């Protein structure tokens, strides 16, 4: 079955075409046939389309909206010169899997999209105004393009965390506010944390119930997850992705009083303050240079910029604190797993995070740590380390494709 996996952001669209079915899932034989990214939708868009095994096609063209972006991709798919193996036209796409950021308490697992599900996703816009509208645009555009006979499935970032217990997900505010408005921690990056836990269990050859680990998804957005008996027990992001770790441009945990104080002092609006906390804080806000970790590390190497060093140290220190907290919450974990663009590619950041952690018996093998870049899945702790350390490149698209197949065939979809 060829599954078109779609991830629509506010001005970007990422996709993969994955050939998978129940047999391929069972034998880990799913194949990614093609993938692509369209950025800066709404103006002169940057387009990268890639048939696996061939040279990527790159272009810059005006693309008005998500529908126009999908139409562009569909023409590329159907173009005889593109030659995606086994795909000659849109008719060879059998299903679509959509990443949906917020499923609130309503969606605890992936579901087939129908009118009711769309209404449910719309209901979540209130608490995910930055994300769910873009996901919905993708759903509507894909429906128009692929027609009513191609089933579509929604895969929620929040779903994996729906197993969190009350003590993890409640905020210490009046309980009625949770009852009335469902104000609580939901957590995000669930598809990624779920995949990392799945790979860990495969590497170790253990059943799901024996997975007790801390997963770190460190990208532009970053989050930590405490996984107990194979299920999400706690996670660092909150009702929205703003809470938790320091990120590329998001502040992470902060005293809420700061918001009112800033409005008062700067004479700005609430919207402007949220824009600062979401888009101009974190690594960018402290360094004053960039939100891009690779660029920042290069800057440090070349100029030893004080604020760049501070930003990196703060970023890592926050991760260390969450590891400590989750070690306590889990009564110890068997492994710490790094993933995401930073977690998968930056030996410096992993070294910084794992330094001075002997109190929990964490011993990084520095040589292996240097080797673990460019998508390598490997253990990077010493044989004597009490807690193992892994780099596990994440693959959210694979989870999405597999869930799409399982939902359509109505088989259980526990990873
Ligand atoms: P997103 O959250 O946007 O999906 P990614 O998971 O792709 O983000 O991660 C992007 C981040 O990973 C950027 O900050 C980028 O600089 C960082 N990154 C990628 N490669 C490296 C590297 N070799 N060293 C350090 N950081 C890296």
For residues 219 and 126, membership in a common domain is answered with no
Contact status, residue 192 vs residue 217, Cβ threshold 8 Å: yes
Same domain? 42 vs 122: yes
Q: Which residue's C-alpha comes closest to atom 12 of ligand 1?
A: 341
Q: Is 157 a catalytic residue?
A: yes
Domain-ending residue, one of 156, 190, 224: 156
Structure confidence at residue 10 (pLDDT): 84
Same domain as 212, residue 133: no
pLDDT tens digits, one per residue of 182-206: 999 999 999 999 999 999 999 999 9
Give the separation between CA 195 and CA 403, rounded to whole angstroms. 12
224 within domain boundaries: yes
Confidence of residue 122 (pLDDT cuts 50, 70, 90): very high
Residue whose tokens read 């209404």? 119
Question: 267: CA distance to ligand 1 center in Å?
Answer: 35
Find out whether the beta carbon of 48 lies less than 6 Å from any atom of ligand 1: no
Q: Is residue 245 part of a domain?
A: yes
> Are residues 26 and 144 both part of a single domain?
yes
Q: Residue 355: which pLDDT band, with cuts at 50, 70 and 90?
A: very high
CB 346 less than 6 A from any atom of ligand 1: yes
- CB of 37 within 6 A of ligand 1: the answer is no
Model pLDDT for residues 277-302, shown as the tens digit of each residue: 999 999 999 999 999 999 999 999 99
**Residue 221 CA, ligand 1 centroid: distance in Å:** 9
Using one digit for the tens of pLDDT, what is the confidence trace for 44-95? 999 999 999 999 999 999 999 999 999 999 999 999 999 999 999 999 999 9
How far, in Å, from the CA of 340 to the mean position of ligand 1? 7
**What is the per-residue pLDDT for 412?**
76
Nearest to 252 by CA among 284, 299, 290, 226: 284
Is the shortest distance between the CB of 220 and ligand 1 below 6 Å?
Answer: yes
Q: How far is the CA of 405 from the centre of ligand 1 (A)?
A: 29
Decide if 66 contacts 137 (C-beta within 8 A). Answer: yes
Q: Residue 345: CB within 6 Å of ligand 1?
A: yes
Mean pLDDT over 110-132 rounds to 92
Ligand 1 contact, 357 CB (< 6 A): no
Query: With b meaning 16 or more CB within 10 Å and e meaning fewer, what string describes 153-174?
Result: bbbbbbbbbbbbeeebbeeeee
Q: State pLDDT tens for residues 130-164.
A: 889 999 999 999 999 999 999 999 999 999 999 99
Say if ligand 1 is within 6 A of residue 343 CB: no
Assess contact for 312 and 296: CB atoms under 8 A: yes
Same domain membership, residue 218 and residue 146: no
Asked whether residue 255 falls in the same domain as residue 333, the answer is yes
Length of the chain: 415
Q: Which percentage of the chain shows pLDDT scores above 70?
A: 99
Contact 32, 18 (CB under 8 A): yes
How many domains does the structure of the chain reveal? 2
Query: Where does the pLDDT of residue 414 fall: very low under 50, low under 70, confident under 90, or very high at 90 and above?
Result: low
56 CA to centre of ligand 1 in angstroms: 20
Are 186 and 124 in contact by the 8 Å Cβ rule? The answer is: no
Q: What percent of the chain has pLDDT over 90?
A: 97
Q: Which of 21, 65, 126, 157 is catalytic?
A: 157
| CA gap 345, 76 in Å, rounded | 31
In terms of domains, do 87 and 25 share one? yes
192 three-state secondary structure: helix
Domain range for 302 = 207-391
Domain assignment present for residue 415? The answer is no
| Spacing, Cα 342 to ligand 1 middle (Å) | 5
Pair (227, 350) in one structural domain: yes
Q: Which atom of ligand 1 is nearest to the CA of 222?
A: 2
Mean predicted confidence (pLDDT) in 234-248: 97
pLDDT of residue 415: 56
Tokens of 281: 């804080």
Q: Is the CB of 83 under 6 A from ligand 1?
A: no
Average pLDDT over the chain, rounded to an integer: 96
Question: What is d(CA 290, CA 10) in angstroms, rounded to the nearest whole number?
Answer: 21
Q: Based on the domain organization, do 277 and 340 belong to the same domain?
A: yes
Where a domain ends, among 119, 134, 156?
Answer: 156
pTM: 0.96
Instruction: Identify the pLDDT of residue 59.
Output: 95
Cα–Cα distance between 151 and 403 in angstroms, integer? Answer: 12
Quick check: is 194 in a domain? no
pLDDT of residue 387: 98
Q: Does a structural domain hold residue 270?
A: yes
CA–centroid distance, residue 220 to ligand 1 (Å): 6
Probe residue for ligand 1, chosen from 7, 16, 219, 279 as the CB with the greatest number of ligand atoms within 8 Å: 219
Provide the CATH number for the domain around residue 355.
3.30.420.40
Q: How many CB atoms lie within 10 A of CB 398?
A: 22
Ligand 1 atom closest to Cα of residue 373:
23
Say yes or no: CB of residue 347 within 6 Å of ligand 1. no
Which atom in ligand 1 lies closest to the alpha carbon of residue 220? Answer: 2
Same domain for 232 and 353, yes or no, is yes
| Nearest-atom index, ligand 1, CA of 295 | 16
pLDDT at position 128: 84
| 414 occurs within a structural domain | no
Last residue of a domain, one of 156, 171, 193: 156
- Residues 232 and 162: their CA atoms lie apart, in Å, by 8
Q: Is 192 in the pocket of ligand 1 (CB under 6 A)?
A: no
Examine the domain organization and report whether 10 and 116 are in the same domain.
yes
Query: How far is the CA of 191 from the CAs of 21, 35, 381, in angstroms?
Result: 19, 18, 25
Q: Is residue 30 part of a domain?
A: yes
Residues 218 and 80 in one domain: no
Residue 171 domain flag: no
């Amino acid at each position: 079955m060829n599954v078109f996996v779609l991830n629509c952001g506010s001005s970007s669209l990422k996709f993969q075409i994955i050939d998978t079915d129940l047999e391929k899932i069972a034998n880990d034989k799913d194949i990614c046939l093609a993938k692509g990214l369209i950025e800066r939708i709404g103006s002169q868009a940057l387009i990268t389309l890639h048939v696996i095994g061939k040279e990527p096609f790159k272009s810059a063209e005006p693309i008005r909206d998500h529908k126009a972006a999908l139409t562009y991709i569909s023409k590329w798919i159907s173009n005889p010169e593109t030659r995606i193996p086994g795909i000659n036209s849109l008719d060879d796409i059998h299903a679509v899997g959509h990443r949906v950021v917020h499923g609130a308490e309503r969606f605890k697992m992936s579901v087939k999209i129908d009118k009711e599900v769309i209404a449910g996703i719309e209901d979540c816009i209130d608490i995910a105004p930055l994300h769910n509208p873009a996901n919905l645009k993708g759903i509507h555009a894909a429906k128009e393009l692929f027609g009513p006979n191609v089933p579509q499935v929604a895969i929620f970032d929040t779903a994996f965390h729906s197993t969190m217990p009350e003590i993890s997900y409640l905020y210490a505010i009046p309980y009625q506010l949770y009852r009335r408005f469902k104000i609580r921690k939901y957590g995000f990056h669930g598809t990624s944390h779920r995949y990392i836990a799945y790979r860990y269990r495969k590497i170790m050859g253990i059943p799901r119930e024996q997975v007790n680990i801390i997963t770190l998804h460190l990208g532009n957005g970053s989050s930590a997850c405490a996984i107990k008996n194979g299920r999400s027990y706690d996670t660092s992001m909150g009702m929205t992705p703003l809470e938790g770790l320091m990120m590329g441009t998001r502040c992470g945990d902060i005293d809420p009083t700061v918001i009112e104080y800033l409005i008062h002092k700067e004479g700005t609006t609430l919207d402007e303050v949220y824009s600062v906390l979401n888009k101009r804080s974190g690594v960018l806000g402290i360094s004053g240079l960039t939100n891009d970790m690779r660029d920042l590390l290069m800057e440090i190497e070349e100029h030893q910029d004080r604020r760049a060093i501070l930003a990196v140290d703060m970023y890592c220190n926050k991760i260390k604190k969450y590891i400590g907290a989750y070690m306590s919450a889990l009564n110890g974990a068997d492994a710490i797993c790094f993933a995401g663009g930073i977690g998968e590619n930056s030996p410096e950041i992993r070294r910084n995070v794992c330094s001075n952690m002997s109190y929990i018996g964490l011993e990084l093998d520095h040589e292996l740590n240097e080797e673990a870049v460019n998508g390598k899945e490997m253990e990077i702790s010493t044989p004597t380390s009490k807690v193992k350390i892994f780099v596990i490149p994440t693959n959210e698209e694979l989870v999405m494709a597999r869930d799409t197949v399982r939902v359509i065939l109505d088989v259980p979809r526990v990873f």
